[in-house]
Amino acid sequence: MDIPIPASPHHPNTQPPRSRLRLRVVHKLFLLLALAVALALGALGSVTIVNLRSGFVAYVNTLDLARLTPLAQELDQRADAAQGFVGLRDRATWDALLHRLLDPKPPRGAPDPAVKRPPPPVPPPPRAPGRDDGTPPPPALPPRVSLLDAHHRWIIGAPLRGDSLQRPLQQNGALVGWLALQPLTHTVESRDTDFLSAQIRDMSLLAGLLVLLALGVAWIFARHLLAPLREVEQSADQLANGTYGQHLETSRRDELGDLVRHINRLSSALQANESARRRWIADISHELRTPLSIVRGEIEAMQDGVRVADAGGLRSLHEEVMRLDRLVDDLHQLSMADLGTLSYRPLLIDIAELIDTACTSLEPIAHDAQLTIERDLSSALVRVDPDRMRQLIDNVIGNSLRYSDGGGRVRIGMAKQAHSVDIVFDDTPPGVDTDSLARLFEPLYRGEASRDRKHGGSGLGLAIAQRIAAAHDATLRALPSPLGGLRIVLTLPLVSR
C-alpha cells in the first residue's frame, strides 16, 4: 500500500500558495492616487460648502442691513434725534415707523404724527413658489431691528445681541445714534435656500466629474509610471532561471530607469561570472590534463618497456607531480583568498627591507635565466603581514623572471606619495598587449603566446597577488613598461612614525 508523503516546505518544487485576489503594484498605486484625490476633493468640497453657506448668510445679512437705508434716512431727519429719539420710545410709534418704511402691510397701531408720511412704497415682488407648502415664513425685518443712542445704549426695538450688525445715524455730521440688526444664522428665504442648494448641487456634480477625471488620469499615470516593472519582473525571472545577458531598453531618468539600468548591469555581471566560471572549469581541467597526460605517458612507456624506469624517468615523473602539487596548492590558496579565509598577521615593517630580502633570495633563479635584478629602494613603513607580502613580491618578481627573455633585467623602484608608497616592478620584453593588461589578474590567464605554460607557471601567481594586495587595502595594477615588458605597480598605504 502506497502511503502519500506530504511535500516538504523546503522542497524546490513546492510553491507558496497564492491568494485568489492579488493586487499588483499598478492597482495599489492607482487606488492610492484615487483615494488621495477623492479625499482632497472631498475635503475641499466640504470646506467650500461650509464657506459658501456662511458666506451666503453673511451676504444676506449685508443686504438686510442695506434695506435699513430708508429708516436710517428717516431717523437722521427727526427733530428729536439729538435728544435721544424721545418720540420713538413708545412701542406703538416705533412699530408704526418700521412697518411704514420696511413692511408694506399696514401696522397695528396709530401712525407716527411726528413724521411726514411718504408716498406709498412700491409693492413687493410675489412670493417665491413653494411658500404654500407648509414651511414657516421667513422672519420679517422689523422685529430684528433695534434703535441705540450714540453711546450704544438700547432705546427701543429688538433685544440687543453681541453679534448685532450696526450702522451709524448722523445729523449735521454728528453721531446721534445707531441702528442694530439681529443677523440671520441660516438662510430662511425660499429663493435663497433654493439658490444655495443649486450651488451645492452643481459643486457636487462638478466634484464627481473631477473625481472621475482624476481616476482616469491616475490610472494612465500609474500604468505609465510602472510600465518598466513588468519588463523588470520578466528579466529578474530569467536571471533566476539562469538566462543571463538580457538587456532592457529605457530612456527614463527617474528611479525606475535606474532600476532598469541596475538590472542590466546585474545581468551583465552574472553573464560575465558565468562565462568566467565556465572558462575557469575549462582552464583547470586543461591545466590538470597536461601534467596528468605526461605522467600517464611516462608510466605506460615504462610498463611497455619502451622506456627504462631509471633515475631520469623518475625525475621526469617527479617534476610533473610537483607541478601538479604547485597547481593544486595555488588553486587552494586562490580559493581561500576569494573566500577571505587566508590568515593575516599584520606587523609594522620596512617594506624596502622585505623587497631587498626577496630579491636576494631570487638572484640565483635570475642568474639561471640570464637576467639581472636591479633595485632602487628607500625606507617606507607599512603595516602588512610579512609572509603574505613576501608571497606577493615573490609572485610578481617570479612572473617577470619566468617570462622575460634572456639577457634582460628586472627593475624595482619606489615612489612615495603623501599617504602611500608605489612599488614599481618593471621587466624587459616580451611585453603584453594593451587589451590583455586588464585580464592579467584573472586566474589561469597568461596573455599572449610568449607567456604560456611552457615556462612552468600555473597562471595563478598574479591572481593570488592581487587578492593579497586587496586584503591589505592596497592595489595592484598592470601597465606597459618603459623597458619594453610589463610594469606591475603595488600601492600600499603608509604608516606615519
The three state secondary structure string of 143-187 is: HHEEEEECCCCEEEECCCCCCCEEEEEEECCEEEEEEEECCCCCC
Instruction: Tell whether 381 is covered by a domain.
Output: yes
Query: Are 263 and 235 in contact, with CB atoms under 8 Å apart?
Result: yes
For the stretch 271-326, pLDDT in tens is: 888 887 787 777 777 667 767 887 888 888 888 877 777 887 788 788 778 878 87
Specify the 3-state DSSP secondary structure of 330. Answer: helix
Q: What whole-number distance in Å separates Cα of residue 402 and Cα of residue 322?
A: 17
Q: What is the largest CA-CA distance in the chain?
A: 160
Give the domain CATH number at 318: 1.10.287.130
Q: Which of 311, 334, 357 is the last residue of a domain?
A: 334
Cα–Cα dist 136/349, whole Å: 106
Quote the pLDDT of residue 400.
92
C-alpha cell at position 309? 624506469
What lies within 8 Å, CB to CB, of 21 at 6+ separation is none
User: 461-471 and 311-339 helices cross at what angle (nearest 10)?
Assistant: 30
Domain match, 260 and 382 both: no
425, 474: one domain: yes
Domain count, the chain: 3
CA atoms within 13 A on the CB side of 42: 6
Are residues 382 and 488 located together in one domain of the fold?
yes
- Is the CB of residue 60 less than 8 Å from the CB of residue 184? yes
Residue 389 and residue 464 in contact, taking contact as beta carbons nearer than 8 Å: no
Q: Which residues contact 209 (CB under 8 A, 6 or more apart)?
A: none
How many helices (H) and strands (E) the chain has is answered by 11, 11
Domain match, 381 and 436 both = yes
Q: Which among 389, 356, 351 is positioned nearest to 374, based on CA atoms? A: 356
pLDDT at 119: 57
Give the C-alpha separation, 359 to 353, whole Å. 10
Shared domain for 420 and 459, answered yes or no, is yes
Both 484 and 353 in one domain: the answer is: yes
Q: Does 350 fall in a domain?
A: yes
Q: What is the pLDDT of residue 110?
A: 44
Task: Say yes or no: 174 and 297 in one domain.
Answer: no
Region of 84 (left: φ > 0; alpha: ψ -120 to 50; beta: rest) is left
Report field, pTM of the whole predicted structure over 0.85 = no
Question: In this predicted structure, what is the pLDDT of residue 494?
Answer: 94
pLDDT digits (tens, 9 = 90+) for 349-389: 999 999 999 999 999 999 999 999 999 999 999 999 999 99
Residue 336 identity (one-letter amino acid): M
d(C-alpha 428, C-alpha 411), whole Å: 9
What sign does the CA torsion over 102, 105, 111, 113 have? positive
List, in order, residues 6 or more apart from 344 with CB less than 8 Å away: 385, 388, 471, 472
Q: Give the three-state DSSP class for 174.
A: strand
Q: What angle do CA 328, 329, 335 make, to 5 degrees?
A: 90
Each residue's pLDDT expressed in tens, for the chain with a length of 497 residues: 444 444 444 444 444 445 455 667 667 777 887 788 788 878 887 888 788 777 778 888 888 888 888 888 888 888 888 888 888 888 888 888 888 888 755 544 444 444 455 555 555 555 444 444 444 455 578 888 999 888 888 988 888 888 888 889 988 888 989 999 988 877 666 666 777 788 888 888 888 888 888 888 878 877 777 777 777 877 888 888 888 877 787 777 777 778 888 888 888 888 888 887 787 777 777 667 767 887 888 888 888 877 777 887 788 788 778 878 877 887 777 777 777 777 789 999 999 999 999 999 999 999 999 999 999 999 999 999 999 999 999 999 999 998 899 999 999 999 999 999 999 999 999 988 888 888 888 877 766 544 454 455 567 888 889 999 999 999 999 999 999 999 999 999 999 76
d(CA 229, CA 38): 26
- Quote the cell numbers at residue 464: 593570488
- Other beta carbons within 10 Å of 187: 19
479: helix, strand or coil = strand
Does residue 276 lie in a domain region? Answer: yes
Domain with 106, as residue range(s), is: 67-121+138-188
| Domain end residue (candidates: 156, 171, 188) | 188
Q: Are residues 72 and 144 in the same domain?
A: yes
